[in-house]
Amino acid sequence: MKQTVLQGWQNAWPTVKSSKPLATGVGVIDESAFNTIEAGQLFDAINHASTTVGQSVLFRSLTQPLDALDEIKAKQDAVEELRTHPALKDALEGILETAAADEKNFYLLLFGEFLGTFGTAREEHEIEGYGYLQYKRGIRFMLELVDRIQVAEAPQSAYLKTLFNKIKAFADSRAYSLMEGPAYIAESGIQSRQERKGSFSPAIIFRPRLFKPLLIALCFGVIWALAHFFPTDMFNVSVEAIPTATIFFVPLLLVYYPVVGSFDRDSCIIPLRNEFKNSPEVAETLDALGQLDELLSFIKFADAFGSNVVLPTLIEGEHHRINLTDAKNPVLGKQNPAYIGNDFVLEDDKLVLVTGPNSGGKTAFCKTITQIQLLAQIGCYVPAQAATLTVADRIFYQAPEISHLDDGEGRFGTELKRTKDIFWATTPKSLVVLDELSEGTTFEEKMESSANVLNGFYRKGNSTILITHNHQLVDNFVRQGTGLPRQVEFANDAPTYKLIEGISRVSHADRVAKKIGFSKEDIDNYLAGSK
């Protein structure tokens, strides 16, 4: 079961990117692949969530995407319902707009730092005074959220129903009852109104305000009684003089405020906020709000992308399959109608070998494939005219890694360890992208090692895409009939960013060197000028 957003925030002020990918072979995507395919930038491209919790849920979805077909389809159905029912969508947007304006009040209650009686708040996470105002504003956020969902139009899709019902169910929780009040501070701990029914044990009723009429009246009553019934030098004042004598009680009020305020803060507000922070029902309610915001974020992303988007068709399969028409990169293609789309089919074949000159678009294309697969598995739209794919149980992307001084392996060994971890973790339902293989060794050893690795992946049966400049390696697999050769197209000495059939046998290294100003001519001119 996924960690709730609230659980991820337990030890720090709420941050959007608090979730982490799971370990290699445990989750769909691991940290190395997540970073390599630039999923953080993908989040920035699709993030249109209004609330902090909505953004956090969306980021969590990208770090821990779904691997169950029915769960992804349920999210797609919810997106479709919101898309086709404007009234429900508008009502939900209104709820989220209010939540976005007020949610920080709740986070301040849960995670704020108390500054003490005379402190002045200068940061958003600081609480001045005794916390009464922050408490009232914080619980109002949760109570009003439930109220708004209860009167909203009931959705029809199973996923939306579940989210609405989670928020409605919060009204039956102990945490809700404590928020609704009053809360009772008894010897056995904090109790709600329902828990106090039938109890005759003494308890203090907590009300979030410093002015407590009954307590003040009781203090004055005690003083009056002492003056009336036990006249002494200490209370040598007539009953008639009591109104005038009240001016002497002002100093007592200066004691009253810090005593009562500190008691409420330490014995009521802080214990209550700890209850709310650790309440499963609070966590589930916040998550449900975030998931609703995530669905609307998908729709807003689709509207803002600027090119064709589609909810992909998800199919069952014994091994990974993908079929894309005019697929564009979700990050680079956003608001860029000139971005070149590509068709890509990997169905019964298992191995695609992509060659091409430097800066021709090989890596961008492969990141497009993996980012689209990732978006599909969180229930989001993907940038394409059409998309049909299976759910990948693992998404791996291996790029050349720099060895570290303490790993004792060198570049070749460091890369090979990563390849081994990927290989052990894959199944026929996995998607694997390998950006070059066996770097840091001789050409002959590179050929042998790369062939062994690719044959292993091919026999395992997953979808494997290799980016390489090694056209001799590609020739060998094409001759065996076990690899599809694809190349990035060049025309007029410039990349078209189209993927076509064939094998590229040139690197255009001189073009890249000239582009960045470090060609042979640049070096010669520099040396000539320095003499």
Nearest of 185, 173, 183 to residue 142 by alpha carbon: 173
- pLDDT tens-place string over residues 420-459: 999 999 999 999 999 988 666 677 877 888 899 999 999 9
pTM (two decimals): 0.88
What was the pLDDT predicted at 223?
Answer: 54
What are the boundaries of each domain within the chain?
A: 29-173+279-300, 183-197+204-275, 306-522
Selection from 110, 92, 5, 112 nearest residue 50 by Cα: 92
Helix, strand, coil % over all residues of the chain, rounded to 5? 50, 15, 35
The answer to whether 367 touches 38, Cβ cutoff 8 Å, is yes
Distances (CA, A) of 298 to 48, 92, 293, 380: 8, 14, 9, 6
Check whether domain 29-173+279-300 has CATH 1.10.1740.110, yes or no: no
Q: Which of 16, 14, 33 is nearest to 419 (CA)?
A: 33
Task: Give the whole-angstrom CA distance, residue 466 versus residue 113.
Answer: 51
Amino acid at 239: V
* DSSP E strands, 229-382: 313-315, 322-327, 342-346, 351-355
Nearest to 391 by CA among 135, 69, 104, 129: 69
Matching CATH topology for 29-173+279-300 and 306-522? no
Cα–Cα distances in Å, from 486 out to 330, 373, 466?
22, 20, 10
At 155 the pLDDT is 96
Distance between CA 187 and CA 201 in Å, rounded? 8
N-term to C-term CA, the chain? 68
Ranges of the chain with pLDDT below 50: 234-235, 403, 405-406, 408
For residue 402, CA distances in Å to 38, 409, 412 come to 18, 11, 9
Cβ-contact 477, 453 below 8 angstroms = no
Which pairs count as long-range contacts for 252-258, CB under 8 Å and 24+ apart, including other chains?
A: 252/219, 256/216, 256/219, 257/210, 258/117
Tell me which fold the domain 306-522 belongs to: Rossmann fold (3.40.50)
Question: What does the pLDDT read at residue 405?
Answer: 44
| Region of residue 492 (phi > 0: left; psi between -120 and 50: alpha; otherwise: beta) | left
The whole-number pLDDT of residue 40 equals 96
